[in-house]
Structure 1
Amino acid sequence: MRVHASPLAGACSLLFVPGTRPERFAKALASGAGGVIVDWEDAVAPGDKAVARAALAQALAGIGPSDRARLAVRINAEGTPWHADDLAALPELAAQGLGAVVLPKADSAAGVAAAARAMGAHGAVLPLMESVAGLDAVRTLAAAPQVLRLLFGHLDFQADAGLVCGPGEEELVPVRLQIVLASRAAGLPAPVDGVTPDTTNLQLVQGHAARALRGGFGGKLCIHPAQVAAVHAAFAPSPEKADWARRVVEGFAEACGGVFTLDGRMVDAPVVKLAEQMLARARVLGVVHG
Protein backbone atom coordinates (compact mmCIF):
# COMPACT_ATOMS: atom_id res chain seq x y z
CA MET A 1 0.00 0.00 0.00
CA ARG A 2 1.30 3.44 -0.94
CA VAL A 3 1.75 5.97 1.87
CA HIS A 4 -0.69 8.47 0.35
CA ALA A 5 -3.40 5.79 0.23
CA SER A 6 -3.17 4.98 3.93
CA PRO A 7 -6.46 5.16 5.85
CA LEU A 8 -4.50 6.96 8.56
CA ALA A 9 -4.10 9.95 6.24
CA GLY A 10 -7.68 11.07 6.73
CA ALA A 11 -8.36 9.70 10.21
CA CYS A 12 -10.01 12.21 12.56
CA SER A 13 -9.18 10.16 15.66
CA LEU A 14 -6.14 8.11 16.61
CA LEU A 15 -6.61 6.01 19.75
CA PHE A 16 -3.69 4.90 21.92
CA VAL A 17 -3.65 1.41 23.40
CA PRO A 18 -0.87 -0.01 25.64
CA GLY A 19 1.45 -2.37 23.82
CA THR A 20 1.29 -4.86 26.68
CA ARG A 21 -2.49 -5.27 26.36
CA PRO A 22 -2.94 -7.20 23.09
CA GLU A 23 -6.47 -8.21 24.14
CA ARG A 24 -7.40 -4.56 23.66
CA PHE A 25 -6.06 -4.17 20.12
CA ALA A 26 -9.15 -5.55 18.38
CA LYS A 27 -11.45 -3.66 20.75
CA ALA A 28 -9.64 -0.43 19.97
CA LEU A 29 -9.97 -1.08 16.23
CA ALA A 30 -13.69 -1.68 16.74
CA SER A 31 -14.15 1.51 18.78
CA GLY A 32 -14.88 3.65 15.74
CA ALA A 33 -11.49 5.34 15.84
CA GLY A 34 -9.97 6.15 12.48
CA GLY A 35 -6.70 4.60 13.57
CA VAL A 36 -5.12 2.88 16.57
CA ILE A 37 -1.63 3.51 17.95
CA VAL A 38 -0.10 0.61 19.85
CA ASP A 39 2.15 2.28 22.39
CA TRP A 40 5.59 0.92 23.16
CA GLU A 41 6.70 4.16 24.81
CA ASP A 42 4.98 5.87 27.76
CA ALA A 43 2.42 3.11 28.40
CA VAL A 44 5.06 0.37 28.74
CA ALA A 45 7.39 -0.05 31.72
CA PRO A 46 11.12 -0.40 30.96
CA GLY A 47 11.11 -4.07 31.84
CA ASP A 48 8.21 -4.84 29.52
CA LYS A 49 9.49 -3.39 26.25
CA ALA A 50 10.42 -6.75 24.74
CA VAL A 51 7.06 -8.17 25.80
CA ALA A 52 5.26 -5.36 23.98
CA ARG A 53 7.23 -5.97 20.77
CA ALA A 54 6.40 -9.66 20.81
CA ALA A 55 2.74 -9.01 21.62
CA LEU A 56 2.18 -6.84 18.55
CA ALA A 57 3.96 -9.24 16.22
CA GLN A 58 1.80 -12.10 17.49
CA ALA A 59 -1.45 -10.10 17.45
CA LEU A 60 -1.10 -8.97 13.83
CA ALA A 61 -1.61 -12.53 12.64
CA GLY A 62 -5.18 -12.41 13.92
CA ILE A 63 -6.06 -8.98 12.50
CA GLY A 64 -7.45 -8.54 9.00
CA PRO A 65 -5.49 -6.62 6.33
CA SER A 66 -7.74 -3.55 6.34
CA ASP A 67 -7.45 -3.19 10.12
CA ARG A 68 -3.68 -3.75 10.04
CA ALA A 69 -3.47 -0.71 7.75
CA ARG A 70 -5.23 1.32 10.47
CA LEU A 71 -2.65 0.30 13.06
CA ALA A 72 0.45 2.27 13.97
CA VAL A 73 3.03 1.68 16.65
CA ARG A 74 4.66 4.36 18.77
CA ILE A 75 8.24 3.31 19.30
CA ASN A 76 10.64 4.67 21.90
CA ALA A 77 12.49 7.87 21.09
CA GLU A 78 15.99 8.21 19.72
CA GLY A 79 18.55 8.20 22.51
CA THR A 80 16.62 5.73 24.69
CA PRO A 81 17.97 2.23 25.36
CA TRP A 82 15.05 0.65 23.45
CA HIS A 83 15.07 2.65 20.22
CA ALA A 84 17.43 0.41 18.25
CA ASP A 85 15.52 -2.76 19.14
CA ASP A 86 12.24 -1.06 18.24
CA LEU A 87 13.58 -0.12 14.81
CA ALA A 88 14.84 -3.68 14.33
CA ALA A 89 11.32 -5.01 14.98
CA LEU A 90 9.64 -2.77 12.39
CA PRO A 91 10.53 -4.60 9.13
CA GLU A 92 8.67 -7.74 10.19
CA LEU A 93 5.65 -5.72 11.34
CA ALA A 94 5.62 -3.69 8.12
CA ALA A 95 5.78 -6.91 6.09
CA GLN A 96 2.65 -8.06 7.94
CA GLY A 97 0.84 -4.87 6.95
CA LEU A 98 1.37 -2.51 9.89
CA GLY A 99 0.14 0.90 8.74
CA ALA A 100 2.69 3.30 10.22
CA VAL A 101 5.28 4.07 12.87
CA VAL A 102 4.87 7.00 15.27
CA LEU A 103 8.23 8.59 16.02
CA PRO A 104 8.13 10.41 19.38
CA LYS A 105 10.31 13.44 20.18
CA ALA A 106 10.93 13.77 16.45
CA ASP A 107 13.50 16.50 15.84
CA SER A 108 15.84 15.33 13.07
CA ALA A 109 15.58 14.30 9.45
CA ALA A 110 18.02 11.48 10.18
CA GLY A 111 15.69 10.02 12.78
CA VAL A 112 12.73 10.14 10.41
CA ALA A 113 14.82 8.57 7.65
CA ALA A 114 15.87 5.70 9.93
CA ALA A 115 12.24 4.99 10.81
CA ALA A 116 11.27 5.14 7.13
CA ARG A 117 14.01 2.67 6.18
CA ALA A 118 12.84 0.28 8.88
CA MET A 119 9.26 0.45 7.55
CA GLY A 120 10.32 -0.22 3.97
CA ALA A 121 9.82 1.75 0.78
CA HIS A 122 6.06 2.20 1.18
CA GLY A 123 5.90 2.44 4.98
CA ALA A 124 4.43 5.55 6.60
CA VAL A 125 6.03 7.67 9.33
CA LEU A 126 4.10 9.88 11.75
CA PRO A 127 6.53 12.30 13.46
CA LEU A 128 5.28 13.38 16.87
CA MET A 129 6.23 17.00 17.54
CA GLU A 130 6.99 17.26 21.27
CA SER A 131 9.95 19.60 21.66
CA VAL A 132 11.32 23.00 20.79
CA ALA A 133 13.97 21.28 18.66
CA GLY A 134 11.23 19.45 16.79
CA LEU A 135 9.35 22.67 16.16
CA ASP A 136 12.53 24.30 14.90
CA ALA A 137 12.88 21.47 12.36
CA VAL A 138 9.17 21.06 11.60
CA ARG A 139 9.29 22.06 7.92
CA THR A 140 12.22 19.75 7.25
CA LEU A 141 10.47 16.87 9.00
CA ALA A 142 7.18 17.49 7.19
CA ALA A 143 8.97 17.36 3.84
CA ALA A 144 10.88 14.15 4.59
CA PRO A 145 10.12 11.09 2.43
CA GLN A 146 7.40 8.74 3.69
CA VAL A 147 6.04 11.18 6.26
CA LEU A 148 2.26 10.74 6.19
CA ARG A 149 1.21 13.54 8.55
CA LEU A 150 2.40 15.32 11.68
CA LEU A 151 1.18 14.72 15.24
CA PHE A 152 1.39 17.25 18.08
CA GLY A 153 2.32 16.15 21.60
CA HIS A 154 1.38 19.40 23.28
CA LEU A 155 1.88 18.23 26.87
CA ASP A 156 5.48 17.18 26.28
CA PHE A 157 6.04 20.37 24.30
CA GLN A 158 4.85 22.51 27.20
CA ALA A 159 7.24 20.75 29.54
CA ASP A 160 10.16 21.08 27.12
CA ALA A 161 9.51 24.77 26.49
CA GLY A 162 8.85 25.56 30.15
CA LEU A 163 5.35 26.84 29.41
CA VAL A 164 2.60 27.03 32.02
CA CYS A 165 -0.48 27.11 29.83
CA GLY A 166 -3.90 28.30 30.88
CA PRO A 167 -7.09 26.26 30.31
CA GLY A 168 -7.49 27.61 26.78
CA GLU A 169 -3.83 27.00 25.89
CA GLU A 170 -3.63 30.33 24.08
CA GLU A 171 0.13 30.12 24.61
CA LEU A 172 0.25 27.26 22.09
CA VAL A 173 -1.63 29.00 19.27
CA PRO A 174 1.55 30.05 17.41
CA VAL A 175 3.05 26.58 17.89
CA ARG A 176 -0.01 24.83 16.50
CA LEU A 177 -0.11 27.24 13.59
CA GLN A 178 3.49 26.46 12.65
CA ILE A 179 2.66 22.74 12.57
CA VAL A 180 -0.41 23.37 10.42
CA LEU A 181 1.50 25.59 8.00
CA ALA A 182 4.42 23.15 7.74
CA SER A 183 1.97 20.38 6.88
CA ARG A 184 0.32 22.51 4.22
CA ALA A 185 3.65 23.58 2.72
CA ALA A 186 4.72 19.94 2.43
CA GLY A 187 1.42 18.86 0.89
CA LEU A 188 0.52 16.64 3.85
CA PRO A 189 -2.95 15.99 5.26
CA ALA A 190 -3.86 18.26 8.17
CA PRO A 191 -1.97 17.32 11.35
CA VAL A 192 -3.37 15.61 14.45
CA ASP A 193 -3.68 17.51 17.73
CA GLY A 194 -2.72 16.19 21.16
CA VAL A 195 -4.60 14.26 23.83
CA THR A 196 -7.03 15.46 26.49
CA PRO A 197 -5.89 13.78 29.73
CA ASP A 198 -9.37 13.98 31.29
CA THR A 199 -11.15 10.77 30.29
CA THR A 200 -14.45 11.59 32.03
CA ASN A 201 -15.29 15.09 30.76
CA LEU A 202 -16.34 14.36 27.19
CA GLN A 203 -17.65 17.89 26.73
CA LEU A 204 -14.11 19.11 27.34
CA VAL A 205 -12.77 16.58 24.81
CA GLN A 206 -15.28 17.79 22.22
CA GLY A 207 -14.35 21.40 22.94
CA HIS A 208 -10.66 20.65 22.47
CA ALA A 209 -11.43 18.84 19.22
CA ALA A 210 -13.50 21.78 17.98
CA ARG A 211 -10.59 24.09 18.78
CA ALA A 212 -8.28 21.80 16.82
CA LEU A 213 -10.58 21.91 13.81
CA ARG A 214 -10.81 25.72 13.93
CA GLY A 215 -7.03 25.85 14.10
CA GLY A 216 -6.47 23.80 10.97
CA PHE A 217 -5.94 20.35 12.46
CA GLY A 218 -7.50 17.30 10.87
CA GLY A 219 -7.78 15.06 13.89
CA LYS A 220 -7.05 14.47 17.56
CA LEU A 221 -5.22 11.86 19.60
CA CYS A 222 -7.33 9.89 22.10
CA ILE A 223 -6.38 7.93 25.21
CA HIS A 224 -9.77 6.30 25.92
CA PRO A 225 -12.36 4.76 23.59
CA ALA A 226 -15.07 7.02 25.04
CA GLN A 227 -13.24 10.05 23.67
CA VAL A 228 -13.56 8.91 20.05
CA ALA A 229 -17.25 9.79 19.67
CA ALA A 230 -16.68 13.22 21.22
CA VAL A 231 -13.87 13.94 18.76
CA HIS A 232 -15.98 12.80 15.82
CA ALA A 233 -18.89 14.96 16.98
CA ALA A 234 -16.62 18.00 16.76
CA PHE A 235 -15.12 17.14 13.37
CA ALA A 236 -18.28 15.90 11.65
CA PRO A 237 -20.25 18.55 9.73
CA SER A 238 -23.96 18.57 10.40
CA PRO A 239 -26.09 16.93 7.68
CA GLU A 240 -27.15 20.42 6.61
CA LYS A 241 -23.57 21.64 6.26
CA ALA A 242 -22.57 18.45 4.46
CA ASP A 243 -25.45 18.96 2.03
CA TRP A 244 -24.35 22.56 1.46
CA ALA A 245 -20.78 21.37 0.76
CA ARG A 246 -22.05 18.79 -1.71
CA ARG A 247 -24.14 21.40 -3.54
CA VAL A 248 -21.15 23.77 -3.67
CA VAL A 249 -18.92 21.14 -5.24
CA GLU A 250 -21.59 20.08 -7.70
CA GLY A 251 -22.41 23.70 -8.58
CA PHE A 252 -18.76 24.48 -9.20
CA ALA A 253 -18.54 21.56 -11.62
CA GLU A 254 -21.69 22.69 -13.42
CA ALA A 255 -20.24 26.19 -13.69
CA CYS A 256 -17.10 24.70 -15.29
CA GLY A 257 -14.92 26.10 -12.54
CA GLY A 258 -16.34 29.60 -12.69
CA VAL A 259 -17.93 31.81 -10.04
CA PHE A 260 -21.61 31.05 -9.38
CA THR A 261 -24.35 31.83 -6.87
CA LEU A 262 -25.79 29.39 -4.33
CA ASP A 263 -28.52 30.29 -1.87
CA GLY A 264 -28.05 33.94 -2.73
CA ARG A 265 -24.31 33.97 -2.00
CA MET A 266 -21.38 34.11 -4.38
CA VAL A 267 -19.24 30.99 -4.54
CA ASP A 268 -15.66 31.15 -5.80
CA ALA A 269 -12.60 28.94 -5.58
CA PRO A 270 -11.75 29.52 -1.87
CA VAL A 271 -15.32 28.67 -0.85
CA VAL A 272 -15.16 25.53 -2.99
CA LYS A 273 -11.92 24.50 -1.30
CA LEU A 274 -13.52 24.81 2.14
CA ALA A 275 -16.53 22.85 0.93
CA GLU A 276 -14.30 20.08 -0.42
CA GLN A 277 -12.52 19.83 2.93
CA MET A 278 -15.84 19.69 4.77
CA LEU A 279 -17.16 17.04 2.41
CA ALA A 280 -14.03 14.93 2.86
CA ARG A 281 -14.50 14.95 6.65
CA ALA A 282 -18.18 14.12 6.22
CA ARG A 283 -17.29 11.08 4.11
CA VAL A 284 -14.62 9.87 6.53
CA LEU A 285 -17.05 10.15 9.45
CA GLY A 286 -20.00 8.67 7.61
CA VAL A 287 -22.15 11.80 7.48
CA VAL A 288 -22.40 11.34 3.71
CA HIS A 289 -21.42 8.49 1.45
CA GLY A 290 -19.86 8.29 -1.99
Structure 2
Amino acid sequence: MSTTLAQRAAVARTFLFVPGTRPERFDKAAESGADLVILDLEDAVAGGDKDSARENIVEWLRGGREAVVRINSRTSSHWPADIAAIVATGAAVMVPKADDPSVLADLAERAPVIALIETARGVLAAPAISSVPGVVRTALGHIDLAAELGVDPDERQALLTARSSLVLAAAAAGIDSPIDGVTTDLTDPKVLEADVLYGKSLGFSGKLCIHPSQIGTAQTALTPTPDEVAWAEKIRASLPADSGVANVDGHMVDPPVLARAARILATATR
Protein backbone atom coordinates (compact mmCIF):
# COMPACT_ATOMS: atom_id res chain seq x y z
CA MET A 1 0.00 0.00 0.00
CA SER A 2 1.30 3.46 -0.88
CA THR A 3 1.34 5.32 2.44
CA THR A 4 1.89 8.65 0.71
CA LEU A 5 -1.08 8.15 -1.62
CA ALA A 6 -3.24 6.93 1.26
CA GLN A 7 -2.39 10.08 3.20
CA ARG A 8 -3.17 12.28 0.21
CA ALA A 9 -6.50 10.58 -0.37
CA ALA A 10 -7.36 10.95 3.30
CA VAL A 11 -7.12 14.75 3.28
CA ALA A 12 -7.62 15.81 -0.35
CA ARG A 13 -10.35 18.33 -1.04
CA THR A 14 -10.89 18.15 -4.79
CA PHE A 15 -11.12 15.00 -6.91
CA LEU A 16 -11.45 15.15 -10.70
CA PHE A 17 -13.03 12.29 -12.67
CA VAL A 18 -11.50 11.36 -16.03
CA PRO A 19 -12.89 8.56 -18.24
CA GLY A 20 -10.48 5.68 -18.68
CA THR A 21 -11.21 5.83 -22.40
CA ARG A 22 -9.58 9.26 -22.70
CA PRO A 23 -5.87 8.73 -21.98
CA GLU A 24 -5.01 11.98 -23.77
CA ARG A 25 -6.71 13.76 -20.85
CA PHE A 26 -4.86 12.00 -18.03
CA ASP A 27 -1.86 14.34 -17.92
CA LYS A 28 -4.06 17.41 -18.29
CA ALA A 29 -6.21 16.25 -15.40
CA ALA A 30 -3.13 15.71 -13.24
CA GLU A 31 -2.10 19.29 -13.99
CA SER A 32 -5.58 20.77 -13.46
CA GLY A 33 -5.02 21.76 -9.84
CA ALA A 34 -7.18 18.96 -8.44
CA ASP A 35 -5.75 17.36 -5.34
CA LEU A 36 -6.28 13.93 -6.86
CA VAL A 37 -7.42 12.52 -10.19
CA ILE A 38 -9.96 9.69 -10.34
CA LEU A 39 -9.47 7.56 -13.44
CA ASP A 40 -12.86 6.02 -14.11
CA LEU A 41 -13.59 2.47 -15.19
CA GLU A 42 -17.25 2.49 -14.18
CA ASP A 43 -20.02 4.87 -15.26
CA ALA A 44 -17.97 6.83 -17.81
CA VAL A 45 -16.93 3.69 -19.73
CA ALA A 46 -19.21 1.65 -21.97
CA GLY A 47 -19.31 -2.11 -21.48
CA GLY A 48 -17.34 -2.89 -24.62
CA ASP A 49 -14.58 -0.45 -23.70
CA LYS A 50 -13.81 -1.69 -20.20
CA ASP A 51 -10.73 -3.73 -21.11
CA SER A 52 -9.11 -1.04 -23.24
CA ALA A 53 -9.85 1.61 -20.60
CA ARG A 54 -8.19 -0.57 -17.95
CA GLU A 55 -5.14 -0.96 -20.18
CA ASN A 56 -4.95 2.81 -20.68
CA ILE A 57 -5.03 3.41 -16.94
CA VAL A 58 -2.46 0.74 -16.08
CA GLU A 59 -0.06 2.04 -18.72
CA TRP A 60 -0.34 5.60 -17.40
CA LEU A 61 0.08 4.58 -13.76
CA ARG A 62 3.13 2.48 -14.57
CA GLY A 63 4.78 5.67 -15.77
CA GLY A 64 5.19 6.71 -12.15
CA ARG A 65 1.97 8.69 -11.74
CA GLU A 66 -0.45 8.48 -8.83
CA ALA A 67 -4.23 8.46 -8.95
CA VAL A 68 -7.40 6.98 -7.58
CA VAL A 69 -9.11 4.48 -9.87
CA ARG A 70 -12.86 3.95 -9.69
CA ILE A 71 -13.28 0.30 -10.50
CA ASN A 72 -16.50 -1.46 -11.44
CA SER A 73 -18.81 -2.66 -8.67
CA ARG A 74 -18.43 -6.06 -7.04
CA THR A 75 -21.53 -7.32 -8.91
CA SER A 76 -19.84 -6.59 -12.24
CA SER A 77 -18.04 -9.25 -14.25
CA HIS A 78 -15.16 -6.77 -14.53
CA TRP A 79 -14.52 -6.66 -10.75
CA PRO A 80 -11.83 -9.41 -10.61
CA ALA A 81 -9.84 -8.05 -13.56
CA ASP A 82 -10.09 -4.49 -12.26
CA ILE A 83 -8.76 -5.43 -8.84
CA ALA A 84 -5.94 -7.58 -10.17
CA ALA A 85 -4.75 -4.89 -12.57
CA ILE A 86 -5.19 -1.78 -10.43
CA VAL A 87 -3.86 -3.12 -7.13
CA ALA A 88 -0.66 -4.10 -8.93
CA THR A 89 -0.05 -0.45 -9.87
CA GLY A 90 -0.16 0.86 -6.29
CA ALA A 91 -3.10 3.15 -7.03
CA ALA A 92 -5.84 3.94 -4.54
CA VAL A 93 -9.18 2.30 -5.35
CA MET A 94 -12.61 3.90 -5.28
CA VAL A 95 -15.25 1.22 -4.79
CA PRO A 96 -18.68 2.14 -6.19
CA LYS A 97 -21.91 0.92 -4.59
CA ALA A 98 -19.90 0.19 -1.44
CA ASP A 99 -22.14 -1.61 1.04
CA ASP A 100 -20.27 -4.67 2.34
CA PRO A 101 -17.54 -4.04 4.96
CA SER A 102 -16.07 -7.54 4.54
CA VAL A 103 -15.49 -7.00 0.81
CA LEU A 104 -13.86 -3.66 1.50
CA ALA A 105 -11.69 -5.14 4.27
CA ASP A 106 -10.26 -7.71 1.88
CA LEU A 107 -9.45 -5.09 -0.74
CA ALA A 108 -8.13 -2.57 1.79
CA GLU A 109 -5.40 -5.01 2.78
CA ARG A 110 -3.94 -4.47 -0.68
CA ALA A 111 -4.72 -0.84 -1.57
CA PRO A 112 -6.00 2.39 -0.01
CA VAL A 113 -9.78 2.43 -0.44
CA ILE A 114 -12.29 5.23 -0.89
CA ALA A 115 -15.75 3.80 -0.35
CA LEU A 116 -18.31 5.43 -2.64
CA ILE A 117 -21.61 5.08 -0.80
CA GLU A 118 -24.54 5.44 -3.17
CA THR A 119 -27.21 3.01 -1.99
CA ALA A 120 -29.55 2.86 0.98
CA ARG A 121 -27.78 -0.27 2.17
CA GLY A 122 -24.46 1.54 1.98
CA VAL A 123 -25.75 4.47 4.03
CA LEU A 124 -27.01 2.12 6.74
CA ALA A 125 -23.64 0.34 6.74
CA ALA A 126 -21.64 3.60 6.84
CA PRO A 127 -20.43 3.15 10.45
CA ALA A 128 -19.03 -0.31 9.71
CA ILE A 129 -17.61 0.77 6.34
CA SER A 130 -15.87 3.81 7.85
CA SER A 131 -14.31 1.61 10.53
CA VAL A 132 -12.66 -0.82 8.11
CA PRO A 133 -8.85 -0.51 8.41
CA GLY A 134 -7.53 0.81 5.11
CA VAL A 135 -10.72 2.63 4.15
CA VAL A 136 -9.19 6.09 4.17
CA ARG A 137 -12.31 8.01 3.17
CA THR A 138 -15.95 7.71 2.22
CA ALA A 139 -17.72 9.60 -0.55
CA LEU A 140 -21.37 10.15 -1.32
CA GLY A 141 -22.84 9.15 -4.67
CA HIS A 142 -26.01 11.10 -4.14
CA ILE A 143 -27.34 10.85 -7.69
CA ASP A 144 -27.48 7.05 -7.64
CA LEU A 145 -28.81 7.14 -4.09
CA ALA A 146 -31.55 9.60 -5.06
CA ALA A 147 -32.58 7.35 -7.94
CA GLU A 148 -32.92 4.39 -5.58
CA LEU A 149 -34.92 6.47 -3.12
CA GLY A 150 -37.10 8.02 -5.82
CA VAL A 151 -36.20 11.61 -4.94
CA ASP A 152 -34.67 14.58 -6.76
CA PRO A 153 -30.86 14.55 -6.22
CA ASP A 154 -30.98 18.34 -5.92
CA GLU A 155 -33.55 18.18 -3.12
CA ARG A 156 -31.25 18.71 -0.17
CA GLN A 157 -33.76 17.90 2.54
CA ALA A 158 -34.43 14.46 1.06
CA LEU A 159 -30.74 13.51 1.31
CA LEU A 160 -29.90 15.31 4.56
CA THR A 161 -30.06 12.14 6.64
CA ALA A 162 -27.75 10.30 4.24
CA ARG A 163 -25.19 13.10 4.25
CA SER A 164 -25.26 13.45 8.02
CA SER A 165 -24.96 9.68 8.42
CA LEU A 166 -21.70 9.64 6.46
CA VAL A 167 -20.30 12.57 8.43
CA LEU A 168 -21.16 10.99 11.78
CA ALA A 169 -19.78 7.61 10.73
CA ALA A 170 -16.48 9.10 9.60
CA ALA A 171 -16.07 11.07 12.82
CA ALA A 172 -16.86 8.03 14.96
CA ALA A 173 -14.34 5.94 13.02
CA GLY A 174 -11.63 8.60 13.28
CA ILE A 175 -11.16 9.08 9.54
CA ASP A 176 -11.33 12.38 7.68
CA SER A 177 -14.78 13.70 6.85
CA PRO A 178 -16.45 12.53 3.62
CA ILE A 179 -16.30 13.73 0.04
CA ASP A 180 -19.54 15.13 -1.35
CA GLY A 181 -21.02 14.07 -4.67
CA VAL A 182 -20.79 15.74 -8.05
CA THR A 183 -22.51 18.91 -9.23
CA THR A 184 -23.80 18.26 -12.74
CA ASP A 185 -24.39 21.92 -13.63
CA LEU A 186 -21.32 23.02 -15.62
CA THR A 187 -22.71 26.42 -16.62
CA ASP A 188 -23.09 28.30 -13.35
CA PRO A 189 -20.21 28.42 -10.83
CA LYS A 190 -22.61 29.81 -8.22
CA VAL A 191 -24.54 26.53 -8.25
CA LEU A 192 -21.31 24.63 -7.62
CA GLU A 193 -20.24 27.04 -4.90
CA ALA A 194 -23.60 26.74 -3.15
CA ASP A 195 -23.41 22.95 -3.30
CA VAL A 196 -19.89 22.87 -1.86
CA LEU A 197 -20.68 25.33 0.92
CA TYR A 198 -23.80 23.35 1.82
CA GLY A 199 -21.79 20.15 2.07
CA LYS A 200 -19.13 21.95 4.08
CA SER A 201 -21.77 23.23 6.50
CA LEU A 202 -22.77 19.60 7.19
CA GLY A 203 -19.20 18.45 7.74
CA PHE A 204 -18.01 17.35 4.28
CA SER A 205 -14.44 18.27 3.46
CA GLY A 206 -14.09 17.15 -0.15
CA LYS A 207 -15.85 17.43 -3.51
CA LEU A 208 -16.10 15.14 -6.52
CA CYS A 209 -15.67 17.15 -9.73
CA ILE A 210 -16.48 16.21 -13.31
CA HIS A 211 -14.80 19.08 -15.18
CA PRO A 212 -11.53 20.99 -14.65
CA SER A 213 -13.48 24.27 -14.55
CA GLN A 214 -14.99 23.16 -11.23
CA ILE A 215 -11.70 22.73 -9.40
CA GLY A 216 -10.96 26.36 -8.50
CA THR A 217 -14.45 27.10 -7.21
CA ALA A 218 -14.59 23.92 -5.14
CA GLN A 219 -11.10 24.42 -3.73
CA THR A 220 -11.86 28.00 -2.69
CA ALA A 221 -15.17 27.06 -1.08
CA LEU A 222 -13.55 24.27 0.92
CA THR A 223 -10.66 26.44 2.12
CA PRO A 224 -11.20 28.30 5.41
CA THR A 225 -11.86 32.00 4.87
CA PRO A 226 -9.50 34.67 6.27
CA ASP A 227 -12.13 35.41 8.94
CA GLU A 228 -12.27 31.75 9.95
CA VAL A 229 -8.49 31.56 10.14
CA ALA A 230 -8.30 34.77 12.17
CA TRP A 231 -10.90 33.41 14.59
CA ALA A 232 -9.03 30.11 14.94
CA GLU A 233 -5.71 31.85 15.59
CA LYS A 234 -7.37 34.02 18.21
CA ILE A 235 -8.83 30.96 19.90
CA ARG A 236 -5.53 29.13 19.86
CA ALA A 237 -3.77 32.07 21.46
CA SER A 238 -6.43 32.50 24.14
CA LEU A 239 -6.05 29.37 26.21
CA PRO A 240 -3.83 29.58 29.28
CA ALA A 241 -0.81 27.34 29.70
CA ASP A 242 -2.74 24.96 31.96
CA SER A 243 -5.24 24.30 29.13
CA GLY A 244 -8.12 25.60 31.22
CA VAL A 245 -11.09 27.66 30.09
CA ALA A 246 -10.75 31.10 28.55
CA ASN A 247 -13.12 33.89 27.52
CA VAL A 248 -12.90 35.33 24.02
CA ASP A 249 -15.24 38.11 22.97
CA GLY A 250 -17.72 37.06 25.64
CA HIS A 251 -17.74 33.40 24.63
CA MET A 252 -16.33 30.52 26.66
CA VAL A 253 -13.41 28.74 25.03
CA ASP A 254 -12.74 25.19 26.21
CA PRO A 255 -11.02 22.15 24.64
CA PRO A 256 -13.83 21.35 22.12
CA VAL A 257 -13.71 24.92 20.79
CA LEU A 258 -9.94 24.70 20.60
CA ALA A 259 -10.26 21.43 18.66
CA ARG A 260 -12.47 23.15 16.07
CA ALA A 261 -9.96 25.98 15.78
CA ALA A 262 -7.12 23.51 15.31
CA ARG A 263 -9.04 21.76 12.55
CA ILE A 264 -9.61 25.04 10.71
CA LEU A 265 -5.92 25.92 10.92
CA ALA A 266 -4.86 22.45 9.76
CA THR A 267 -7.24 22.63 6.79
CA ALA A 268 -5.99 26.09 5.85
CA THR A 269 -2.42 24.83 5.52
CA ARG A 270 -3.17 21.75 3.36
TM-score tier, shorter chain, comes to over 0.9
| Pairing of 1:73-84 with structure 2 (within 5 A) | 73-84=69-80
Distance 2:160 2:87 in 1: 37
CA-to-partner distance for each residue in 1:63-89, whole Å, 9 max, x for gaps? 45xxx1xx1000000111211111111
* From 98, 103, 107, the counterpart of 2:95: 103
RMSD: 1.8
| Pairing of 1:140-289 with structure 2 (within 5 A) | 140-165=128-153, 167-252=154-239, 254-263=240-249, 265-284=251-270
**Structure 1 position 129 matched with structure 2 position 117:** yes
The answer to whether the 8 Å contact 1:4/1:148 transfers is: no
CA-to-partner distance for each residue in 1:15-42, whole Å, 9 max, x for gaps? 1111111222222122111111100001
* From 69, 75, 87, the counterpart of 1:91: 87
Q: Which amino acid aligns with 1:138?
A: A
Specify the SS of the correspondent of 1:43.
coil
Distance change (3 Å), C-alpha of 1:256 and 1:88 = same
Q: Which amino acid aligns with 1:86?
A: D
Distance 2:36 2:64 in 1: 14
Specify the SS of the correspondent of 1:6.
helix
**Structure 1 position 41 matched with structure 2 position 19:** no
Runs of 4+ in 1 over 6 A off after TM superposition: none
* From 95, 110, 113, the counterpart of 2:105: 113
Q: Which amino acid aligns with 1:269?
A: P
Q: What are structure 1's unaligned runs of at least 5 residues?
A: 285-290
Q: Which amino acid aligns with 1:182?
A: A
The answer to whether the 8 Å contact 2:94/2:116 transfers is: yes
Aligned residues: 269
Specify the SS of the correspondent of 1:8.
helix
Residue of structure 2 equivalent to 1:50: 51
Residue of structure 2 equivalent to 1:288: none
TM-score by length of 1: 0.87
CA-to-partner distance for each residue in 1:74-129, whole Å, 9 max, x for gaps? 000011121111111123211xxx2x100000111232123224xx2xx2111110
Q: Which deviates more from structure 2 when the two are superposed, residues 46-55 or residues 204-213?
A: 46-55
Distance change (3 Å), C-alpha of 1:50 and 1:4 = closer
Shift of 1:5: 5.6
Residue of structure 2 equivalent to 1:138: 126
Q: Which deviates more from structure 2 when the two are superposed, residues 44-53 or residues 71-80?
A: 44-53
Percent identity between matched residues is: 39
Q: Which amino acid aligns with 1:51?
A: S
Specify the SS of the correspondent of 2:16.
strand
Distance 1:61 1:164 in 2: 40
Specify the SS of the correspondent of 2:258.
helix
Distance 1:195 1:60 in 2: 24
Shift of 1:239: 2.1
The answer to whether the 8 Å contact 2:58/2:86 transfers is: no
Distance change (3 Å), C-alpha of 1:263 and 1:182 = same
Q: Which amino acid aligns with 1:87?
A: I
Distance change (3 Å), C-alpha of 1:159 and 1:228 = same
CA-to-partner distance for each residue in 1:130-164, whole Å, 9 max, x for gaps? 10111121111111121001100000001112223
The answer to whether the 8 Å contact 2:62/2:89 transfers is: no
